[in-house]
Amino acid sequence: MIYYVEDNEGIRNLVTYTLNMTGFEAQGFPEGESFFQAMETARPELILLDVMLPGEDGVTILGRLRRDPRFSAIPVIMITAKGEEADKVEGLECGADDYVTKPFGMMELIARVKAVIRRCAGRGEGVLTLGGIRLDREKHTVEADGKEVVLTFREFELLRYLMEHPEKAFDRDRLLDEVWGAEYEGGPRTVDMHVQTIRKKLGRCASQIETIYGLGYKIGEGNNHAQ
């Protein structure tokens, strides 16, 4: 099931019709209140979320989703008429998995939906443990040496991706594609800044995230108990 929150009835009906005709099951909502009511009954596979909405705007709704352990792992694509780079960065940093600007083609949207579902498959399932780090994908929590670590959504996703591929080195461009999405317009420095912040929060477990000079990063057991 795909949920689409959009106050323009014509656009909402066109998108949900197209999704239903291409093998998905979709349901539309004109605002956040009815959307959250439906979320209490059934969780969708993916959410399409407009930014400019009556009542709560899309960014506020996205923040509520990412703070709720029941919904935090559900992928979200922002759909909006706002096309400035700063708006895209805000949406992606708040936890959106992709960003589509109006006007858009239906086939482009379907391709984005498929890509996000494929990229995010399984991210809300199970617990990952490596060295002193424990990451719960379902509860969206992280512990380092038994102590809770509070990460932003994007920091969590970066750590999760590295922990799902222990001892494998990734260059910065690959991490940008996998964690922020291929359409993200930020540069490799974005990855460096997030890694630095994650390391600070992990304390003695910071050494598990290794810098591979000339390439990027990998995660391993580390020497997290070194003095």
Instruction: List the chain pLDDT tens, one digit each, 227 residues.
Output: 999 999 999 999 999 999 999 999 999 999 999 999 999 998 899 999 998 899 999 999 999 998 887 888 899 999 887 666 666 677 777 788 888 888 889 999 999 999 888 877 766 678 899 999 999 987 888 999 989 999 988 899 999 999 989 999 999 999 988 888 766 666 788 899 999 999 999 999 999 999 998 899 999 987 644 33
2-120 classified as CATH 3.30.470.30 = no
Judge whether 45 and 1 are in contact, CB under 8 Å.
Answer: yes
How many residues are present in the chain? 227
Classified by CATH at the fold level, domain 127-219 comes out as: Arc Repressor Mutant, subunit A (1.10.10)
Q: pTM score, two decimals?
A: 0.66
Report d(CA 165, CA 161) in Å as an integer.
7
What was the pLDDT predicted at 227?
30
Q: Where are the domains of the chain?
A: 2-120, 127-219
Judge whether 151 and 195 are in contact, CB under 8 Å.
Answer: no
- Residue 3, sorted as left (phi over 0), alpha (psi -120 to 50) or beta, turns out to be beta
CA distances from 125 to 15, 40, 42, 54 (A): 29, 19, 17, 33
